[in-house]
Structures are given as structure tokens and as C-alpha cells.
Amino acid sequence: MAISNYLNTSPVLGDRVYWHSSCQIIGEVMIGDDCSIWCNTVLRGDVNRIVIGCGSNVQDLTMGHVSHKTPEKPEGSPLIIGDYVTVGHSVILHGCTIGNECLIGMGSIVMDDVVIPDRVMIGAGSLISPGKTLESGMLYMGRPAKAVRSLTEEEIAYLRYSAEHYMRVKDNYLSGSKAGDK
């Protein structure tokens, strides 16, 4: 079953969301309008919440999870993804915050309490260490990731384009498929 409750929490999907039947969306997960959740992705909001803004896409084989609340850390580490974010294939996102119009490259790992502000590009295969706060308008690459350079105007424009492209693709699926229609 692609969408599952956990205890007293249930996923909430916005309008025009496409989710592939092989994905798993579990517990306290809120997905904004015009998002797409692709093949074999897992969004596990069991011990904390996952919030995904409008127009974002989470691509194949991505794992999104959270850290639980404790007396020392009453909010725990939820997973928050902004608007028009592209999360590439096979990414691990764990209890981090991603701003608007970002691109997280394929195979990257973003750890607990990382804050990625608006308009950041993370190169494929990068590792963002726990607790790091990145700078807007930058390209980060490596393990551990470091700021490589400022993004060009074309790259900044591409961040929004990438998300809008995936919105067109998910609309094609929604118009021709019954699996995952909402």
C-alpha cells in the first residue's frame, strides 16, 4: 500500500499530486499542490513530520526520514522541503530543512539539522554533514560538501525550470494514468 497511516497520523496530499504506486508515504506527511513522488521513494513520517511545499518533486529511490522528539530536543528533526525543489534519484534526506528552488543532486545525503536556504544546488553524490547551514546562491559539492562557487544566473533560472519540468511530466502521468491520481 503506497499511502499508510501511522498511529493517529495520516498523509495529506494537496491538489494535482502524482505519486507512483511503488512509493511509500507513511504517517505525518504533508505534500503541497502540484508535487510528484516517484518510483520506490519512501517518505516515512512516523516519529516526526515531513512537509513538502508546492511544485516539488522527489525522484526515484529517495529516502526521506526524520529524527524523533526528545526532552533535550523537543522538536526533534522534521524534514521540511520548500517550493519548487528537485530532489534527484537515490537521495537520502534525514531531518533537514531545504528552502525554495533548490536542486539536490543524485545520490546525495543531507543529514539531521542541515539548513539549505533558497536557491542552492547540491552536486551529485555530495554529503552535507549534520548541523551545517549553507549559503544561498551557491553550488556545493563533495564528501563532505563544500561551497565551490556562486551559481550563475542561468543555473538559478534552471532551479525553477527543473521543478516546472517535473510538474509537466507528472501532469502527463495524471492525464493518462489511474495509479496515484488525486
Q: Express each pLDDT in 36-74 by its tens digit.
A: 999 999 999 999 999 999 999 999 999 999 999 999 999
Asked whether residue 149 is domain-assigned, the answer is: yes
pLDDT at 182: 47
Looking at the chain, the whole-number percentage of residues with pLDDT higher than 90 is 96
- In contact, 149 and 156? CB cutoff 8 Å: no
SS3 call for 38: coil
SS3 call for 165: helix
Domain range for 77 is: 3-170
pLDDT at 177: 55
Q: What is the pLDDT of residues 39-48, one digit of tens each?
A: 999 999 999 9
Asked whether residue 175 is domain-assigned, the answer is: no
pLDDT for residue 181 is more than 50: no
CATH of the domain at 137: 2.160.10.10
- In contact, 101 and 85? CB cutoff 8 Å: yes
- In contact, 114 and 96? CB cutoff 8 Å: yes
Asked whether residue 162 is domain-assigned, the answer is: yes
- In contact, 129 and 96? CB cutoff 8 Å: no
Q: What is the pLDDT of residues 88-136, one digit of tens each?
A: 999 999 999 999 999 999 999 999 999 999 999 999 999 999 999 999 9
- Read off the pTM: 0.95
Instruction: Point out which residues pair with 6 in neighbouring strands.
Output: 9
Looking at the chain, the whole-number percentage of residues with pLDDT higher than 70 is 96
Asked whether residue 182 is domain-assigned, the answer is: no
Amino acid at 116: I
Asked whether residue 155 is domain-assigned, the answer is: yes
Give the number of domains in the chain.
1
- In contact, 126 and 140? CB cutoff 8 Å: yes
Asked whether residue 178 is domain-assigned, the answer is: no
**Rounded Cα–Cα distance for residues 63 and 50 (Å):** 12
Asked whether residue 18 is domain-assigned, the answer is: yes
- In contact, 108 and 126? CB cutoff 8 Å: yes
Long-range CB pairs of 24-32 (<8 Å, 24+ gap) are: 32/56, 32/83
Asked whether residue 88 is domain-assigned, the answer is: yes
Cell 544561498, residue located: 136
